[in-house]
Structure 1
Amino acid sequence: MSDTKISPHSLNDLKNTTDDCLANYLRSLSFVQDNSKLDIRLAVGYAAVVISAVTFAADYKLGWEATKTGTAVAVVAYAALNAVYTWWMWMVEKGMVFEGVRGGKKVSIASKTKKHDPTYYLTVTTSSSSQPIQLQCPFTTWFTQDGYFVAQPFQQWLASSVAVIGEADSKNAAKSEKDELFVSEAERNGTTSTSGADASHAKGTKRGKKKS
């Protein structure tokens, strides 16, 4: 269990904490993180900050009349960089939390939440699959009622849902452990979950127990 307590009612805190734990978990499994997209975003952001600082310093020292042309150019450049920054976040990174490689297999994971919905949504893209995997699970699966993160159910959910992660963490990928610890929101509502085969297996198991 994590020593850090967050507000269990804040979707932003729940998501950010889970995002951090996801990246830490994959790095602990020897996934080598690729920060190239993050580096480009930071470079664009820093360039905008530098333009603002230089423009302010020039105006402070030389005055408005001497710098108004340069200031106009700087404003256009700043606006362009902010547009690129926003486009990069929404169209290239698309909520990416982790991108890395292990054993020649690449994985890219993006996360999101929906308003008033305490569910963690993931889009997982791997080099071994042509289609992204869509996953979802309520935050209450790995957060206690008082806001502490519990790593094991979260890691078991990931390892049992994504093959490339399960190969790196075979213990947590055990299906029996997943059935015991992971109950998706869709399963609770009686609808198709993001891993329908596993949901059907779990329901079938419960029906079998009742008959016996």
Structure 2
Amino acid sequence: MSATTKIAVHSLSGNHIRLYLPISNLCANPIPDLKNTTDDALPNYLTSLKFRQSHTQTDIRLFLGYSAVAIAGTLFYFDWKQGWDATKAYTAPAVIAYFIINGIFSYWIWAVEKGVVFAGEGKTGKIRICSSSKKHIPIYELTVTFTPPSSVEQTLHIRTPFTRWFTSDGYFVAKPFQQWLASEVPIVGAADPGNVVEEIGRGSEAEKVLNATGTNVADVLGQLKKAGGKAGDSGRRRKG
């Protein structure tokens, strides 16, 4: 395994992050770096498994953001060129339009996207993943909504320490992250059975499944873990 991405973390130990910093830097919080690095790795992994990422929500967010900027920029340009007397009749409507669009933009980010890091579809089904973490708590949390072929939509809430895939000196290692995701999420494991590890998932937070009508997620995970074990030693690791 290779670890090529490094973040500014002085020490990761167990389930806690220990920061060996001067007293003046005690408020430093490495959690956003841990989360952002992991968020970037997630779509890269899924697209490598032939999941096609949907950019619809991102396109809408960009459209709203650029529209607000265009209104502000246009108003400034004409005010600069024509003067206040020529543009004052348009200023109030432009300002109102700017704040309306900016309000929709903020609502879209916080209420619609809700921390989405990946939304797409592959041969094993549709998937939408939202990530979150709490300040100074090095736990990576995912809400995964997925729909296997010919089945109903299901939701998983899974969480694990960042130390599962970050080394003690802050390097991100892709393999354990991929194993965790493939072992916990059925349609990811179905797309990448070689990374399904039997030890991962037993007794974990992934046991809580919402809307699990129809397909039994526990049974699916069990089958995938057996398939992963047959794929070779590369897909299995021993407990420490």
Q: The residue matched to 1:70 in structure 2 has which SS?
A: helix
Q: Which moved more, 1:35-44 or 1:59-68?
A: 59-68
TM-score (norm: length of structure 1): 0.82
Structure 2: stretches of 5+ with no match in the other structure:
10-28, 209-217, 219-240
Provide the rounded CA distance (Å) in 1 between the counterparts of 2:191 and 2:207. 23
Q: Which residue of 2 aligns with 1:194?
A: 205
Q: Which residue of 2 aligns with 1:171?
A: 194
Deviations 1:143-191 (A, max 9, x none): 1121110001100000000000000110111314x37xx9xxxxxxxxx
Deviations 1:87-128 (A, max 9, x none): 111111111000010116100000011122111110000013
1:109 aligns with 2:158: no
Superposed, 1:37-56 pairs within 5 Å as 37-56=57-76
CA contact (8 A) 2:8 2:30 kept: yes
Provide the rounded CA distance (Å) in 2 between the counterparts of 1:155 and 1:104. 17
Q: The residue matched to 1:175 in structure 2 has which SS?
A: coil
1:123 aligns with 2:143: yes
Give the helix-richer structure, 1 or 2.
Answer: 1
Superposed, 1:1-212 pairs within 5 Å as 1-8=2-9, 10-103=30-123, 105-128=125-148, 129-176=152-199, 178=200, 193-196=204-207
Provide the rounded CA distance (Å) in 1 between the counterparts of 2:143 and 2:195. 20
Q: Which residue of 2 aligns with 1:206?
A: none
Q: The residue matched to 1:48 in structure 2 has which SS?
A: helix
Q: Which moved more, 1:4-13 or 1:146-155?
A: 4-13
Structure 1: stretches of 5+ with no match in the other structure:
183-191, 199-212
When residues 95 and 175 of structure 1 are mapped into structure 2, their CA distance, relative to the original with a 3 A threshold, is same
Provide the rounded CA distance (Å) in 2 between the counterparts of 1:86 and 1:55. 22
Give the strand-richer structure, 1 or 2.
Answer: 2
One-letter amino acid of the structure 2 residue matched with residue 56 of structure 1 = F
Give the % identical residues: 49
Q: Which residue of 2 aligns with 1:202?
A: none
Provide the rounded CA distance (Å) in 2 between the counterparts of 1:57 and 1:92. 33
Q: Which moved more, 1:157-166 or 1:44-53?
A: 44-53
Provide the rounded CA distance (Å) in 1 between the counterparts of 2:70 and 2:187. 41
Tell me the CA shift for residue 196 of structure 1. Answer: 4.2
One-letter amino acid of the structure 2 residue matched with residue 96 of structure 1 = V
Provide the rounded CA distance (Å) in 1 between the counterparts of 2:84 and 2:147. 54
Tell me the CA shift for residue 130 of structure 1. Answer: 3.5
When residues 69 and 102 of structure 1 are mapped into structure 2, their CA distance, relative to the original with a 3 A threshold, is same
Moved over 6 A (4+): none
Q: Which moved more, 1:6-15 or 1:114-123?
A: 6-15
Aligned length: 187
TM-score (norm: length of structure 2): 0.73
Provide the rounded CA distance (Å) in 2 between the counterparts of 1:13 and 1:5. 10
